[in-house]
Amino acid sequence: MAIKKQKLELVECVLYSLPAMLLVTLMIYIPFVLSGLYSFTEWNGIARSPKWIGLANFAAIFKGESDFFRTLLFTFKYTFFFMIFANAIALALALALVRKFALANTLRGIFFVPYVISMTIVGFIWRFLFSSGFDTFYALTGAGIFKWSWLGEVNLAALSVVIVGVWQAIGFYVVLYIAGLEAIPSDVLEAAVVDGAAGFTRLRRIILPLLAPSIATCMFLSLTNSLKVFDIILALTRGGPAGSTYSVTLGIYRDAFQSNRYGLGSAESLLFFVIILILTQFVMKLFRPEEK
């Protein structure tokens, strides 16, 4: 009876997990394998049979015939500033909102609202603000910052993408940091106050070390989320001005679906996957095993 029960449980486990396994295989694994095969071909997405060209697409990337490395540089810049500002601001807000005051829960909800809004919609909202809304603010305040061409100058356009990205995602990291702060034992903080550790000293020597797992999690999530930035740039700047805000994902989209160079786009995707794999493994090794 015990053996039959174990076999029945095994069959049930397979049957329940089979639909999910099939869906993941169809939506992720098969396209990934096909993308790897297409990276060695010249294909416009319409022809019945792709033309096998070997490593020509990868050679074109490394020879500079593609904008891959230029878009990769912008993606790395965006990722760096996004990680710094998103985590620093989220941690500061979490330290303020974890305190007990009347509007704490309301403010938590307000900060989290942008995260549940579609990134494309967020991009269109901020595009309207940068192009038209700031003119109204300038008329009301006279502040010169509202007269700048936020989407028309290279440096300001890149900065605007970072600002919008941080604004949209910051609520998520605030929630994670608040969860980490509330998990710190209160008696440890009370003992620190009794021992004379207050203010910045308590933050540096007590709170931040105990918050290390949350910091590691937020840093890793902000890294992975910023590397694949696409929606906000497509809605906000469309890669402009002069292609200065093209991310890798947007560049792959342009080459594959707008220029109909599916082989080149697949090669760029495969190369970007390898870069992300190496980078994420490196970042994970920066944290001790108990903090992962």
Could you tell me if 134 and 150 lie in one domain?
yes
Q: Which tokens hold the place of 169?
A: 């995602």
Give residues with Cβ within 8 angstroms of 182, minimum separation 6. 98
Please check whether residue 236 lies inside any domain of the structure: no
Place of tokens 């192009």: 131
Q: Which tokens hold the place of 121?
A: 């919609």
Domain containing residue 277: 37-67+246-282
Could you tell me if 222 and 268 lie in one domain?
no
Could you tell me if 63 and 185 lie in one domain?
no
Could you tell me if 215 and 113 lie in one domain?
yes
Pairwise CA distance, residues 216 & 225, whole Å: 14
Tell me, what's the pLDDT at 290? Answer: 47
List the beta bridge partners of residue 194.
none
Distances (CA, A) of 35 to 39, 255, 268, 276: 6, 14, 10, 16
Could you tell me if 133 and 226 lie in one domain?
yes
Tell me, what's the pLDDT at 103? Answer: 83
Could you tell me if 262 and 222 lie in one domain?
no
Could you tell me if 54 and 146 lie in one domain?
no
List the beta bridge partners of residue 146.
none
Please check whether residue 262 lies inside any domain of the structure: yes
Could you tell me if 174 and 95 lie in one domain?
yes
Q: Which is nearest to 167 in space by CA: 130, 126, 225, 221? A: 126
> What are φ and ψ of residue 42, in 5° steps?
-110, 115
Q: Which tokens hold the place of 207?
A: 């709170």
Tell me, what's the pLDDT at 1? Answer: 62
Please check whether residue 274 lies inside any domain of the structure: yes
Please check whether residue 176 lies inside any domain of the structure: yes
As a dihedral over the C-alpha atoms of residue 130, residue 253, residue 231, residue 161, rounded to 10 degrees, the angle is -40
Could you tell me if 109 and 151 lie in one domain?
yes
Pairwise CA distance, residues 202 & 200, whole Å: 5
Could you tell me if 79 and 216 lie in one domain?
yes
Q: What's the alpha-carbon Rg for the chain, to the nearest Å?
A: 24
Instruction: Tell me the three state secondary structure of residue 51.
Output: strand
Could you tell me if 144 and 253 lie in one domain?
no
Alpha helix positions (H), the chain: 2-24, 30-38, 56-62, 68-97, 104-116, 119-128, 134-141, 154-182, 186-194, 200-202, 208-210, 212-227, 231-236, 248-253, 262-285
Could you tell me if 62 and 141 lie in one domain?
no
Pairwise CA distance, residues 181 & 185, whole Å: 9
What crossing angle do the helices spanning 68-97 and 104-116 adopt, rounded to 10°? 160
Number of structural domains (the chain) is 2
Per the document, the length of the chain is 292
Contact (Cβ atoms closer than 8 angstroms) between residue 233 and residue 161: yes
Which CATH number covers residue 205? 1.10.3720.10
Tell me, what's the pLDDT at 288? Answer: 62
- For the chain of 292 residues, list the mean pLDDT of each consecutive stretch of 10: 75 87 92 92 87 93 91 95 95 90 85 89 91 86 87 91 94 94 82 73 84 90 92 90 92 92 94 92 72 46
Contact (Cβ atoms closer than 8 angstroms) between residue 241 and residue 154: yes
Please check whether residue 1 lies inside any domain of the structure: no
